[in-house]
Structure 1
Amino acid sequence: MAAAVMDAEGQEKVKVDGENWFLHHPKYTEMMSYGFEDKLQLRIAFLSYLDLCEAKNWWNVEIHPCHKLGMVFISGKQNKKGDLQLVLPISANTPLSNERLHEFTANVRLSDDETEGQNVETEPESESKAHCVVLAVSDSDSTTVYYRISDSLIPPDPPKQTLVQEVSKGKRKKRKAVFVAREPDEPVTDEENWDDEL
Structure 2
Amino acid sequence: MDTIFSHPKYTEMLASGVTDEAHIKKTFQVYLDLCEVHQWWNVRLHPCQQFNVIFISGRPQRGLDREFVLTLGADQSLSPLDTHNYINRLKEFSKTEVDGLNVAVTDTDSTTAFYKLTAGLVPVPPLVAENKFKFKGHNPGRAKRFFTYPTLPKECDVEQDKGAGEAEDN
After TM superposition, the score normalised by the length of structure 2 is 0.71
Q: Does structure 2 conserve the Cα–Cα contact (< 8 Å) formed by 1:88 and 1:136?
A: yes
By how many angstroms is 1:103 displaced? 2.0
Q: Could you tell me which residue of structure 2 aligns to residue 49 of structure 1?
A: 31
Give the count of matched residue pairs.
Answer: 137
Q: Which residue of 2 aligns with 1:187?
A: 130
Aligned partners of 2:97, 2:36: CA distance in 1, in Å? Answer: 22
Deviation at 1:110, TM superposition (A): 6.5
What is the identity percentage for the equivalent residue pairs of Structure 1 and Structure 2?
34
Tell me: CA distance 1:64–1:138, structure 2 relative to 1, closer, same or farther (3 Å).
same
Counterpart contact for 1:106–1:151, Cα < 8 Å: no
User: What does residue 155 of structure 2 align with?
Assistant: none
SS at match of 1:45: helix
Pick from 109, 112, 121: which aligns with 1:141? 109
Match for residue 153 of structure 1 among 121, 131, 135:
121
Cα drift, residue 186 of structure 1: 2.9
Task: Find the aligned partners of 1:35 and 1:102 in 2 and give their Cα distance.
Answer: 23
Give the distance between the partners of 2:25 and 2:120, measured in 1 at CA: 30
- Structure 1 unaligned residues grouped into runs of 5+: 1-14, 123-130, 159-182
User: Compared with structure 1, are the counterparts of its residues 26 and 72 closer, same or farther at alpha carbon in structure 2 (3 Å cutoff)?
Assistant: same
Query: Match of 1:40?
Result: 22
- For 1:53-72, list aligned pairs within 5 A: 53-72=35-54
* Residues 98-113 of structure 1 mapped to structure 2, 5 A cutoff: 98-109=80-91, 111=93
1:56-99 CA-to-partner distances (Å, cap 9, x unmatched) read 01100111101211100111001110001111111111122222
Q: SS of 1:154's equivalent?
A: coil
Asked whether the 8 Å contact 1:135–1:148 carries over to 2, the reply is yes
Residue type of the alignment partner of 2:111: T
What does residue 142 of structure 2 align with?
Answer: none
1:189 maps to amino acid: K
Would you identify which runs of 4 or more consecutive aligned residues in structure 1 move more than 6 Å?
A: none
Matched residue type, 2:115: Y
> For the residues of structure 2 that align with 1:135 and 1:65, how far apart are their CA atoms?
16
Contact 2:45 2:55 in 1 (8 A): yes
Q: Deviations over 1:119-168 (max 9, x none)?
A: x354xxxxxxxx31111111111111111112222225x5xxxxxxxxxx
- Confirm or deny: 8 A CA contact 1:66 1:108 kept in the other structure: no
* Aligned-residue CA RMSD (Å): 2.4
Distance change (3 Å), C-alpha of 1:109 and 1:91: farther
User: In structure 2, what is the Cα distance between the partners aligned to 1:143 and 1:45?
Assistant: 13
The unaligned stretches of length 5 or more in structure 2 are 135-161, 163-170
1:83 is paired with a residue whose SS is coil
Question: Given the superposition, is the C-alpha separation of residues 45 and 109 from structure 1 closer, same or farther in structure 2, using an over 3 Å criterion?
Answer: farther
TM-score (normalised: structure 1): 0.61
* Partners of 1:75 and 1:85 within 8 A in 2: yes
